[in-house]
Amino acid sequence: MNRTTTFFSAVAIAGALAACSPDPESSFARGQDAFEQHDFRAARVALIAGLREMPGNAEMRSLLARTQIALGDGEGAITTLDALSSDQRKEPQIAALIGEAEVLRAKYDEAMAAVGGVETASADRVRALALLGQNKIEEAAEAFASGAEREEADARLLASYSRFELARGDIAKARTLADKSVATDPDSIDGLLAQALVARRQNRLPDALAAYDAALKRHSANFEARLSKAQLLVAMERYSDANSLVGSLLKEAPENGDIAVLRAEIAGSEGKWKEVRAILQPFEGEMRQIPKMRLVYGEALLELGNTAQAIGLLEPMLRANSGARDLRLLVARTQLASGQAQDALDTIELVAIRPDAKPEELEFAAKAAKAIGSAKAAEFARRASEVTPEWVGGELAKADRAMRNRQWESAEASYEAILDRSGSRNAMVLNNLAYAKSQLGKTDAALAMALEASKLEPDNASILDTAGWLLVQTGSRKRGMEMLSKAAALDPDNAAIAGRLERAKQS
């Protein structure tokens, strides 16, 4: 939850209006430029300064209201729009702004009244949002559908409709609507953000990142896009890339809970649990409404030995999400650390008895069973050392998914687990592990594994491609070129291999 005050205080407004603005049109131009860049805080200051000298400028007042709405300041927007004449307030665009501001104020009847009789897609969007606020889901769906069917397509409505369908679980429809929003207005950040959300839901993380980058290329100051990109980078385990974004966001919104979670996740990735606790402690009062924050904080408390408090946070989460295996293991660890060995065994046994149980789940189940003197300990320990087809299949799927999403650390961990537990040296597993390690900068280890894979399958184009490119990068250009040439001959239609061979020739 964002604890930052969402309205512009009377003191701040007074201060802004008191500022000297000898050139109101210049202030308006600055406000327009800042708005286009989605630097809404700067836009607000410039527009308020301009209106001090030209209070009757309806265009400037309308843009200030749009700016305030973008900042979540419904109260400020209503105050701004109240200064317009009655006739101006009835204009369709202004009516839609009033309606949107009323939605932000949670005054849904007033929002509906503001756009009553207005037949535009923007008005339909206001109606849909107001109905959602009243929990009238099916009526909101009808309002969104009406807006989408209008002759003149509206990118913002389509993007909001996409988010609505995504929340309802219709991912295919959400993707179609997001794509249509971007097609309607390629510069619409709403459509690009909707595309990113759909891609994340479908676990297409690189596509989501591309959508955020496209949004920020057009609107570099947009807060939601920067925050969402930082969250995605953390999900992709690109902590150093996320850190620079988080630093700039923190300066703008130091009390934002989402930013605090990101900072804590980055610190937790480095095992800095005291830092995690320090970051999240100020949010204890809000934590039960923010599951991600509770999870990260709970793990930090466990690592720091505050098990009773950790149990209080984590056990209710598991009751609400009984299928979350990582959470289940975390809760079991917390229970055992607090001396509740039987509870720990009861918690972890539900997954430990499954044929696809993970080694860490079985090892912990054995530890918990041993703590209470249960004969089950030996069985769990025996199974922890076995390799089942179900586990291998699950781990391969997890590793391949991590590779597609460029989550190199997760991919590395899964492929290494397969090699370590199976005791065999599968060429493709070695090849994929080599690629993951190369992306993590572990070039020497990556090359050794790639060469081992090439010995096992000397005529596999993909394996030769990996080994050849790593050889070129590490200075063994002649040998690398030979492997890349052979890979290209074995798979002449592979554009990626051909591209690497060409780059090698030019290096």
Q: Is 218 exposed, middle or buried (0-12, 13-18, 19+ CB in 10 A)?
A: middle
Tokens representing 9 are 């205080």
Q: Cα–Cα distance between 145 and 336 in angstroms, integer? A: 52
One digit per residue, the tens of pLDDT, for the chain of length 507 reads 344 433 334 433 334 443 444 467 788 999 999 998 888 999 999 999 999 989 999 999 999 999 999 999 999 999 999 999 999 999 999 999 999 999 999 999 999 999 999 999 999 999 999 999 999 999 999 999 999 999 999 999 999 999 999 999 999 999 999 999 999 999 889 999 999 999 999 989 999 999 999 999 998 889 999 999 999 999 998 999 999 899 999 999 999 999 999 999 999 999 999 999 999 999 998 888 889 999 999 999 999 999 999 999 999 999 999 999 999 999 999 999 999 999 999 999 999 999 888 889 999 999 999 999 999 999 999 998 888 888 888 889 989 999 998 899 989 999 998 998 888 889 999 999 999 999 999 999 999 999 999 999 999 999 999 999 999 988 898 999 999 999 999 999 999 999 989 998 887
Region of 282 on the Ramachandran plot (φ > 0 left; ψ -120 to 50 alpha; else beta): alpha
Q: Cα–Cα distance between 302 and 271 in angstroms, integer? A: 12
Q: Which helix (H) or strand (E) holds 128?
A: helix 121-133
Q: Which helix (H) or strand (E) holds 43?
A: helix 40-53
Task: Give residue 64's pLDDT.
Answer: 96
In the chain, the N- to C-terminal Cα span, in Å, equals: 50
3-state SS class at 26? helix
Q: What amino acid is encoded at 81 in this protein?
A: L
Of 410, 413, 411, 352, give the one whose Cα is nearest residue 386. 352
Q: Cα–Cα distance between 165 and 352 in angstroms, integer? A: 36
Tokens representing 501 are 């061979």
Tokens representing 60 are 């400037």
* 232 neighbors 212 (Cβ within 8 angstroms): yes
Q: Cα–Cα distance between 314 and 332 in angstroms, integer? A: 10
Task: Give residue 421's pLDDT.
Answer: 83
Task: Give residue 341's pLDDT.
Answer: 96
Q: What amino acid is encoded at 36 in this protein?
A: E
* 209 neighbors 193 (Cβ within 8 angstroms): no
SS (H, E, C) 160-173: HHHHHHHHHCCHHH
Task: Give residue 385's pLDDT.
Answer: 85
Q: Cα–Cα distance between 331 and 345 in angstroms, integer? A: 11
- The number of C-alpha atoms within 13 Å of 264 and in the hemisphere containing its C-beta is 26
Q: Cα–Cα distance between 328 and 295 in angstroms, integer? A: 11
Which of these CATH numbers, 3.40.50.2300, 1.25.40.10, 3.90.650.10, 3.20.20.220, describes 400-506?
A: 1.25.40.10
């209008």: which residue's tokens?
A: 150
The DSSP-derived string for 317-363 is HHHH-TT-HHHHHHHHHHHHHTT-HHHHHHHHHHHHTSTT--HHHHH
DSSP code for 4: S
Backbone angles phi, psi at 503, to 5 degrees: -65, -35
Which residues contact residue 127 at a Cβ distance below 8 angstroms, ignoring those fewer than 6 apart? 99, 111, 112, 115, 140, 143
Which residues contact residue 451 at a Cβ distance below 8 angstroms, ignoring those fewer than 6 apart? 467
Q: What amino acid is encoded at 77 in this protein?
A: A
Q: Cα–Cα distance between 170 and 164 in angstroms, integer? A: 9
Which residues contact residue 165 at a Cβ distance below 8 angstroms, ignoring those fewer than 6 apart? 171, 173, 174, 177
Q: Which residues pair with 2 in a beta bridge?
A: 256
Helical H segments across 152-203, by residue range: 155-168, 171-184, 189-201
pTM: 0.77
Task: Give residue 17's pLDDT.
Answer: 40
Tokens representing 384 are 């922890």
Q: Cα–Cα distance between 33 and 31 in angstroms, integer? A: 5
